[in-house]
Chain A
Amino acid sequence: MPRPFPWEVGGLAGYLVKRISLLVPVLLGISLVVFLLIHLIPGNPAQAILGTSATPAQIARLDQALGLNKPIWLQFADYLGRVLHGNLGESISEYQSVASLVAYALPNTVELAVVALVLAVVIAVPLGVASAVWRNSPFDFAAMAFAQLGISMPVFWLGTLFVEFFALDLHLFPTFGIGPPVGQAFAALAQGNVGPMGSLVSHAMLPALTLGLTGAAIVSRMVRTAMIEALGQDYVRTARAKGATSGRVVWRHALRNAMLVVVTVVGLQFGYFLGGAVIIESIFAWPGIGRLTVNAILARDFPLVQGCVLVIAALFAFVNLLVDVSYAVLNPKIRYQ
């Protein structure tokens, strides 16, 4: 009997192979759409590099040097060929490889996203659970008002407010900038030096709080809804009838079941955070991938835009995959086929 292909294998391994192979057409599609969009909007990189002082002859010469005078399909084929060889190309406006620019910006974005996510979850889950348990109480109303506010408040305003209060008035956190690199902070921590890690967290706190609060608002509402539903289920009544404490019912029985929904929302939020919160990155002078992408678009730096979007899309897809895989851990009844 011939050995089955990996995607014919059941269980998690087969599922993973299937999902990962599905990523290929997704990323290819995204690449094509981004490539077409950036080439269709007015303005070109040669113009952006040479500025308004350039003559048409200069622009034509640079167009040729950059390969921008080739037919668009040929440019796309060139690009794909390079990407398949693991080469994201050279940034036109920043005189560096796209890979090195992304490699510097991405860890900063991940750091911000992780801290923001931790803050969001730490705030949202207890809030959502408490709201569901004491639903329609003054606490519930207050919590949901907070959530409404968190969703409605523009981040540039919230961020400025935080800086004004926590940095300028209370001097608790810096007004802007990033701390030491993550690797350096962990290495120092391993040697018992908490300084760099402290600096890292203190720099990340205000941008992460600004980003995380919006996420917390969304997640807390989802937790509340999912918990209300879970608390009305038969198994909760059974657990209570068996004499389980109210805490155990809420945290072990109801929340565990509500977690499926929560994890989905949290995963989506994390993907959104990773996509780069460009406004927050601007307010806090945070050198992340969001700003890198926007600058690249403004400079019509085609290779950099494509590289950034590809990396963001791949990360988003990867986070979604993790969320799907986590379902089985949370609910043993779920099987992958």
Chain B
Amino acid sequence: MTRAKGWAARGVAAVALATMVAGCGSSTAPSSGAASSKPVYGGTFRVALPVDAGTLDPRLSQDTSATAVDSLIFNGLVAINNNLQAVPGLATSWKQVNPTTWDFYLRKGVEFSNGQPFTSQDVVYTFDTILNPKFNAPHAQLYAAIKSVVPVGKYEVQFNLSEPYAPLLSYLNMGIVPHGAGANANFATNPVGTGPYELKSWQRNNQITLVRNPHFYGSKPYLSQIDFVVMPDNTSQVNALKAGTLNMITSPLPPQDVITLEHDSSVNVQKETGLGIIYLNLNLKDPILKDLKVREALDLLTNRKAITQQIYKGIDTPAATTLIPGTWAYDPSIQAPAFNVAQAKKLLAEDGWTKNSQGVLQKGGKTLSLTLSTYNDPNRVEILTYLQNVFSQVGIQAKVVQQDWPTFIAGVMAGHFQVALIGWLGLVDPDKAMYEQFTTKGGFNWEGYSNPNVDSLLQQARTATTIAQRKADYDQASKIVLNDLPYIVIADQGWVVITGKNVHGLQINRTGSFRDLESVWLSHN
């Protein structure tokens, strides 16, 4: 199903809630090649993108392809490292003056790729445009708490918030564009940033070519050119990597191909837990699913281990909450119940469900039949088919529906679903993984979930001033959500990077940023 894999990749990219990330990996991931080799300058590095970027304006982009390319063209005020902590970017330091005021001290001597000097005006301009409703920035709501951004001299900016907003730092990796970029109607296709590379050419649906930015303030990157090749078909990506015409391919990749390549001595495979989850969204307004016992039974019937091992070949890992393992908010003690068919049967029987003559559970003249829906990603369809089979063993009649992405998500957002298999990507902050999803008035609360305790915990976490306080709130809220089950979180998505043997110095970055290519070099050019 080569074609389907290609569409799967497209779907995953489309679902992305990508953030402009310019991270620098702090973990010591394996580096390919001999350690004694001396880095060399030059060479063209070719990497595959499953879909073309829509726009390269970081304020407007929302796909993973744009995130990858923009991470090399732009810098944010901060960068997000592998532990999802903010580290200096265009701001060398910052200070929280009071709960609603943040001061950022800017790096001096920085120039955009067009030679324009970088100052506080550029930061003000970037956020003013994002917050302008007419600009239609997709991620505007992440910055909604910002009341104003004011310059304090040339190299300092002050962020004034309407209310305390702890996640702000996680989102300040938004690429800074030069003051007046809006006057250039072609900025989306001719971006100008302060990153190590600049755009040389962009052939739609074919290739994005970056070359070194001569004005970059940091050390000169090794690679003289980076080609992002748009390649929708996963098998073609793998073939091109084997043929040496590509130097790197990344998730989303078919799990089977990753396993095969792990045994191929001509490539290096690096794996890490990414920033995405997949989950079943349960519509709590549905007459069947509003019954907690039914949701608990479904949770017991969701064999996370089998799904991650059999379908994702261990690249994705079982998960219980929307918090990402290995990040500061994650609490390993919060675990989902183990797969238990007998217990599920017992729960449903206690709840009054009895089998009818066809072997289907019913209660009060209502049969326990569910529609499980997702979009046309073969792995996700496989999960639903598997669940359909397990559900049928206890007498739950399930129907699997797959649609194209826009149709599917439009249905979910309109509340026309029972059980929807969806994913979240780019969960760079626990707020992004919980607030809009689980607060009563949350924008992504498509399931109709409402719990005053969760509302107040998630609000409290936004206004908390320490990481420890925030962690306690998110962990507490996650426990409640796991009991209430508006979501059945299935797995944390793996992030896989596969490179040729001549690629050296690469540190895998789970944020999906490609910024680490600035320290990568190629041997045998």
Contacts and interface: CB of A to CB of B under 8 A. Distances in A.
Interface of A: 41-44, 47-55, 58, 61-62, 65, 93-96, 101, 104-105, 156-157, 160, 163-164, 167-168, 171, 174-178, 279, 282-285, 287, 291-292, 295, 297-300
B95 to A, nearest CB: 29
Interface stretch (B147-155, B201-209, B335-343, B481-489): B201-209
A163 B54 contact: no
Interface stretch (B217-225, B227-235, B312-320): B227-235
A299 B65 CA distance: 15
A285 B236 contact: yes
A282 B141 contact: no
B229 A43 contact: no
B2 A156 contact: yes
B157 to A, nearest CB: 25
B182 interface: no
B405 to A, nearest CB: 6
Given A53-B17, A61-B133, 11 more contacts: A43-B407, A47-B409, A53-B62, A53-B139, A53-B141, A54-B443, A95-B57, A160-B2, A175-B240, A176-B239, A285-B206
Given A43-B406, A53-B141, A55-B141, A283 B2 contact: yes
A291 B136 contact: no
Interface of B: 2-3, 6, 10, 14-17, 51-52, 54-55, 57, 60, 62, 133-134, 136, 138-142, 188-189, 203-206, 229-233, 235-236, 239-240, 242-243, 245, 404-407, 409-411, 413, 436, 443-444
B138 A283 contact: no
B206 A95 contact: no
Contact of A176 (B189, B236, B436): B236
B407 A41 contact: yes
A171 B239 CA distance: 12
Contact of A58 (B136, B242, B413): B136
A183 to B, nearest CB: 14
17 contacts: A43-B405, A49-B54, A52-B15, A52-B413, A53-B141, A54-B141, A55-B141, A105-B204, A168-B242, A168-B243, A171-B243, A174-B243, A282-B232, A282-B233, A283-B2, A285-B206, A299-B406
B411 A42 contact: yes
A43 B408 CA distance: 8
B145 to A, nearest CB: 14
A228 to B, nearest CB: 37
A94 B204 contact: yes
A22 to B, nearest CB: 33
Contacts of A157: 2
B138 A50 contact: yes
A44 B410 contact: yes
Contacts of B235: 160, 283
Contacts of A174: 243, 245
B46 to A, nearest CB: 10
Contacts of A43: 404-407, 409-410
Given A285-B206, A298-B10, A167 B411 contact: no
B406 A58 contact: no
* Listed residue (A167, A176, A178, A287) with the most chain B CB atoms within 10 angstroms of its CB: A176
Given A49-B138, A279-B3, A42 B407 contact: yes
A52 B62 CA distance: 10
Given A51-B138, A58-B140, A298-B14, A284 B189 contact: no
A240 B55 CA distance: 68
* Listed residue (B51, B133, B233) with the most chain A CB atoms within 10 angstroms of its CB: B233
A100 to B, nearest CB: 8
B406 A292 contact: no
Cβ-closest 8 pairs across A and B: A43-B406, A287-B206, A95-B188, A287-B205, A51-B62, A285-B231, A43-B410, A42-B410
Contacts of B2: 156-157, 160, 283
Nearest to A279: B3
Contacts of B54: 49, 93-95, 299
Contacts of A297: 404
Nearest to A66: B136
A54 B55 CA distance: 17
A54 B436 CA distance: 11
A65 B136 CA distance: 10
Nearest to A104: B204
Nearest to A65: B136
Contacts of A300: 406
A93 B418 CA distance: 30
A160 B411 CA distance: 35
Contact of A177 (B3, B52, B60, B229): B229
Given A43-B410, A52-B413, A298-B10, A287 B203 contact: yes
B80 to A, nearest CB: 17
Contacts of B141: 53-55, 58
B277 to A, nearest CB: 14
A308 to B, nearest CB: 12
Contact of B204 (A49, A96, A156): A96
* Listed residue (A61, A178, A298, A300) with the most chain B CB atoms within 10 angstroms of its CB: A298
B429 to A, nearest CB: 13
B402 to A, nearest CB: 14
A157 B235 CA distance: 11
A295 B63 CA distance: 13
Nearest to B16: A51
Contacts of B189: 95-96
Contacts of A41: 406-407
A297 B14 CA distance: 13
Nearest to B436: A53
A18 to B, nearest CB: 38
Nearest to A56: B443
Contacts of B230: 285, 287
